[in-house]
Amino acid sequence: MKFDVVIIGSGIGGSAAFAILSSGGLKTLLIEKNPRPGGSCSYYIKDGFQVDWGTHMFSRGHKGPIGRVLKISGSRHEVEFRKRRKLSVGRGFGIDEIVLPGEKWRLPFFFYDLFIKLRVPLREYPNVIKLLYDIATMDEDEIKKWDDVDVETFMRRYTSNERIVGFLSFLFGLYFVLPPWEVSAGEAILCYKRMFNDWWLSYPRGGAFSVPNAFIRTGEDYGGKVILNAPVKKIIVSKNGVKGVYVDGIGRIEAEAVISTTSLKDTVLKLVGEKFFERDYIQHIKGIRSSKIAVQAKIALKRPIIDAGCLTGGVSLKRNYDISRYTIDDMKRVYKKIEEGRIPDILPFYCPIPTNFDPSLAPEGMQLITACMVAPTTEVPLKDPPEKWHEIMMRGLEKLLPGLKEEILWVDFISVKGAENWIGKTGAPAISTAQCPGQVGDRRHPVRLPLKGLYAAGDCAGGRGIGTELAAESAIECSEAVLRDMKNMVL
């Protein structure tokens, strides 16, 4: 078999590149190691529930890079992103409940309510309002100046109130699966600015899989081919560059270009091999920092117990600890324990509720909650066993969701090791090239690797954005590079 381009991995990055390159006239092959495509946006079926492998919300819906992929590729397959009047509720941290509204015009009331419930001193109002105003209005050149500064430092430019810094830093670090002192302020500002401008935080009808499925069907419409159950063992390289891939059970597949959507470490060190790169480049790749990951719980309920699209929050299992006094120092203690492989005393949660956007994802009258709690990657040995993480996670969720225990039909836990086995990235980081200072914007790894015909797409190189949207934007950038390079080769 011979193709113009082979793409390794069918998550958002791989499937988006598949749609664009196939529509661009290239003979394109998409290879997936699993029996079902979609990467972390794939799913499984259990007792009538369609359950996401990952834990997803989509910050910009059709208005962001996912919509751009469909437009660029001329797709006839739509993805319907749905919103809720109650987009998300926040609980814990000393707050009974704070509701993030679906209507943009209600945001000033949301922030006022937040200030009251956080007990923000009146003297701090001008500072926090200026912070929010600057994020909403900052231009691209100013944002770039903050790329190599962390979120905590940025916050302290506006306020020294530890409670405000702690709570807002938690929100700013949430989407990047990193503590705020490791998140690039420029990346966070840009992502939140885009999200608030578009205001389409949502979830797709048909589940998260509807996004890569639309991309894959688009690619197939243009003659692209998909092979499942096909683990790529090696990227074939000669002195002149990439020659194709070697696939377990299939053998050699020739190609002029290969796009890898796994981590750069796995691509360079495992699929290609160190001998094909300069020593300085290998050291650079080995030094790339990844994000944390999460322990996940998929919870099937007999009936709905929450009407919002998502639940975020934090609870403490420590006796005599007042979580309403939660500060960034408390957060640092949480992450210190996580980095040691231990369960923290304060548990941060992020819990999308897919069936509140699309009831058809569960049997009639039932509810599905997809919960996650930050955890170390598999490269950190766990001092507390997975079973303990699961037990503590459920105890925390029962505090945030009164009545949860009585309504449970079943709970599936996905450990970090389980996520690694499905996604295929060593360590299973949520973002394989973390969005930290030195790894975003102009200093993010380019989509072209220093080997002719080798490219990267997904969360590992290029692009800016939150999670799936980072992967889609990277795929657009990568596809443009491949099409440009292929055109130059023909000329």
Together in a domain, 228 and 184? no
Structural domain ending residue among the three candidates 149, 174, 196: 196
Together in a domain, 283 and 210? yes
pLDDT at 489: 65
Structural domain ending residue among the three candidates 177, 196, 215: 196
Pairing of strands 367-375, 81-82: unpaired
Together in a domain, 446 and 484? yes
Beta-carbon contacts of residue 395 (< 8 Å; ≥ 6 apart): 317
pLDDT at 170: 78
Torsion, Cα of 264, 203, 55, 13 (10° steps) = -10
pLDDT at 491: 43
Domain span at residue 188 reads 107-196
Domain annotation covers residue 167:
yes
Domain annotation covers residue 248:
yes
Together in a domain, 225 and 187? no
pLDDT at 432: 95
* Distance, CA of 130 to CA of 396 (rounded, Å): 34
Global confidence as pTM? 0.95
Together in a domain, 175 and 214? no
- Token code pair at residue 196: 């608030």
Domain annotation covers residue 448:
yes
Together in a domain, 228 and 187? no
Together in a domain, 65 and 18? yes
Together in a domain, 179 and 215? no
Pairing of strands 86-92, 95-101: antiparallel
Domain annotation covers residue 349:
no
* Distance, CA of 297 to CA of 35 (rounded, Å): 22
Domain annotation covers residue 389:
no
Together in a domain, 173 and 244? no
CATH code for the domain of 476:
3.50.50.60
Total domains in the fold of the chain: 2
Structural domain ending residue among the three candidates 145, 176, 196: 196
Domain annotation covers residue 457:
yes
pLDDT (tens place) for every residue of the chain, 491 residues total: 899 999 999 999 999 999 999 999 999 999 999 999 999 999 999 999 999 999 999 999 999 999 999 999 999 999 999 999 999 998 887 778 889 999 999 988 988 888 888 888 888 889 989 998 999 899 989 999 999 999 999 999 998 888 788 877 777 778 899 999 999 999 999 999 999 999 999 999 999 999 999 999 999 999 999 999 999 999 999 988 999 999 999 999 999 999 999 999 999 999 999 999 999 999 999 999 999 988 999 999 999 999 999 999 888 877 666 666 777 888 888 889 999 999 988 888 999 999 999 999 999 999 999 999 888 888 888 898 889 999 999 999 999 999 999 999 999 999 888 888 888 898 889 999 999 999 999 999 999 999 999 999 999 999 999 999 999 999 999 999 999 998 876 54
Strands (E), 79-175: 81-82, 86-92, 95-101
Together in a domain, 187 and 214? no
Together in a domain, 75 and 115? no
Domain annotation covers residue 85:
no
Domain annotation covers residue 215:
yes
The number of C-alpha atoms within 13 Å of 262 and in the hemisphere containing its C-beta is: 28
Together in a domain, 215 and 155? no
CATH code for the domain of 160:
1.10.405
